[in-house]
Structure 1
Amino acid sequence: MTDAAITAAPVRKPSNAVFQALRRNRFSWIGIGLLAAIIFAAIFAPLLSPYDPLKQHILDRLQAPSSEFWLGTDSYGRDVLSRLLYGARISLSIGFLSVMVAMVVGSTIGILAGYIGGLFDQLVMGLVDVMLSFPTLLLGLMVAAMLGASFENLIIAIAITETAPFARIARAPTIAIKRREFIDAGRSMGFTPLRIMGVHVLPNILSDIVVVASLWMASAIRTEASLAFIGLGVRPPTPTWGGMIREGFDNILNAWWLVVFPSIAILLTVLALNILGDALRDAIDPKTRS
């Protein structure tokens, strides 16, 4: 068998059938459109924001939604809409970057454990099981408390909480794929284990990892909001959705908009990501696609 034949081994790439399945699933376009609108608002926040999100208007503090301040003002007179738009940047960035870090690290660990097997697999999966035994928020709380509150530390804390699920997802299909004929042929051709794992194993499990990433990004955004609510998020006055809820909680009875609007933003983002993740899973799985 030639090198070209080995390289052409079966790889589950997105096919026309997958895209057709996504197109037929009208409900999935709700999530795609909603997520696109949120990302658009975050990217163009400087153009869409009517006010500086950090500028205080003390005389206009705790103003209810009006024609001047569409979503009201907070206890420092800052425009809630402007802070909501800029907060989307922080929340989405933390969610995306933490999931990317967790996906790379966790998938690498899972592929190595599944391919090498033996004692190494048992030790790694034992550590993964220990990490999975901790609730996500509790584990993130411990890591964030040790590292301190900052943008970079929050990404690391959330990534650590999500590494174990990616390792578990990557390991199972790796074990099945390494027994396939084209993997044996690659070994007989003298391919190194790193080449086999990177060129032949990874592309075959990438679709499963991408689906998990879309679902866990929603979890990352929830975790970031939860950590910000208890004071372990990005330091104020930088606007984040969780931080806005925390700041508005003291005035929830007489200024409901301070909590409601950031909560709606989190709800819509998580909903959009979950819809997208479910749609990708149904489109990639041939059983549900049929």
Structure 2
Amino acid sequence: MNVDLALTRRQRIGAALLVAIALFCAAGPALVGDPRVLDLMNFLSAPGLEHWLGTDHLGRSMVARLAHAGQLSLGLAALSVLSAAIPGVLLGIVAAWRGGWLERACVVLADSVLALPGLLLVLLLATLAPGAFWPLYLGLALAFWVEYFRVVRASARSILASPAVEASRLLGFGTFYLVRSHVWPELRPVLLTLASFGMAAAVLAMAALGFVGVGIKPPRPELGVMMIELLPYYQEAPWLIAAPVLLLTLTLLGLVLIRPQEAVA
């Protein structure tokens, strides 16, 4: 079973966009300094040579705050998706392979988690430690692993029932070979689709929670927090609110574009 993983033009655009955002977030703090530094004599300034995107209502550099906010959002998204993918993929393959009571137990566990909406789960955990990072991470990871398990289990069952796998079994090939040579190559595009959707959902959820005041708390820079802080100044300094909105939009666009083509059809 050969799966074509060559990137399409759309995926290359998405990957280039994400790489550019990641480089900005990684290099921004080193180039423009501490996002917590206040300059009350230079607040709501327009973009210029000293402050490329201007300063906010407290005189803090918008570039520095955007870079740190991007680090936080992308870091949380990547960590939660990775933490969800590992158990979800492993349990999905094992459940499809072994079947029986093990598969039934995994399905019951997944259905139990699925009964509680992911956003509600994050909100419940956030009440335990308001403004902390770990409730967002834990809630998103718990919500996402179910999707990995369900999709991987369904895909793996279909692959394991294919004639190619049956022929390999008759030839005496072991479990590791079958998973490596037949199951894993077919799952990779599916996993890339799940990862792109998961990261987009995590970035959007974190911004939404910050915007309504139940996510990361000020003064820590976060896209949703920045939006709600800068919203009162949208008429006086519209470029300020536009900056986090644009970064969020471009991040989501890059994650959507990088999906495999078959996921779009």
Say whether residues 1:96 and 2:96 are aligned partners. Answer: no
1:142 aligns with 2:101: no
Match of 2:210 among 211, 216, 228: 228
- State the Cα deviation string for residues 13-72 of structure 1 (Å, max 9, x = none): 6x5xx32xx3xx4333321221111111112123432x4211000112223434443322
Aligned to 1:216: 198
Tell me, yes or no, if the aligned pair for 1:53 and 1:86 is still in contact at 8 Å: yes
Of 207, 221, 224, which residue of structure 2 is paired with 1:242? 224
| Of 18, 31, 38, the match for 2:21 | 38
Q: TM-score, normalised by structure 2?
A: 0.84
Deviates more, 1:220-229 or 1:66-75: 66-75
Is contact 2:25-2:66 (8 Å) kept? Answer: no
Q: Which moved more, 1:237-246 or 1:111-120?
A: 111-120
- C-alpha distance 117-144 of structure 1, shift in aligned 2 (>3 A): farther
Which of 245, 257, 260 is the aligned partner of 1:263?
A: 245
Amino acid at match of 2:23: F
Q: Would you say 1:184 and 2:169 are equivalent positions? A: yes
> Aligned to 1:38, what secondary structure does the other structure show?
helix
Equivalent of residue 254 in structure 1, options 236, 246, 264:
236
Report SS of the residue matched to 2:41.
Answer: helix
RMSD: 2.9
Give the % identical residues. Answer: 31
CA deviation vs aligned residue, 1:235-261 (integer Å, no higher than 9, x gap) = 433322122113223444434333221
Q: Tell me what 1:7 maps to.
A: none
Residue pair 2:136, 2:215 contacting (<8 A) in 1 also: yes
Q: Is the 8 A contact 1:177 1:183 kept in 2?
A: no
1:116-155 paired onto structure 2 within 5 Å: 116-155=98-137
The residue identity in structure 1 corresponding to 2:12 is W
Partner of 2:61: 79
- Counterpart of 1:111 in structure 2 is 93
Q: Which moved more, 1:136-145 or 1:157-166?
A: 136-145
Q: 1:203 to 1:26 in 2, by over 3 A?
A: closer
- Residue 175 (1) aligns with residue 157 (2): yes
Contact 1:73 1:80 (8 Å CA) reproduced: yes
User: What amino acid is aligned across from residue 33 of structure 1 in structure 2?
Assistant: A
Gaps of 5+ in 2: none
Runs of 4+ in 1 over 6 A off after TM superposition: none
In 2, Cα distance between equivalents of 1:129 and 1:257: 45
Q: Distance in 1 between matches of 2:147 and 2:223?
A: 25
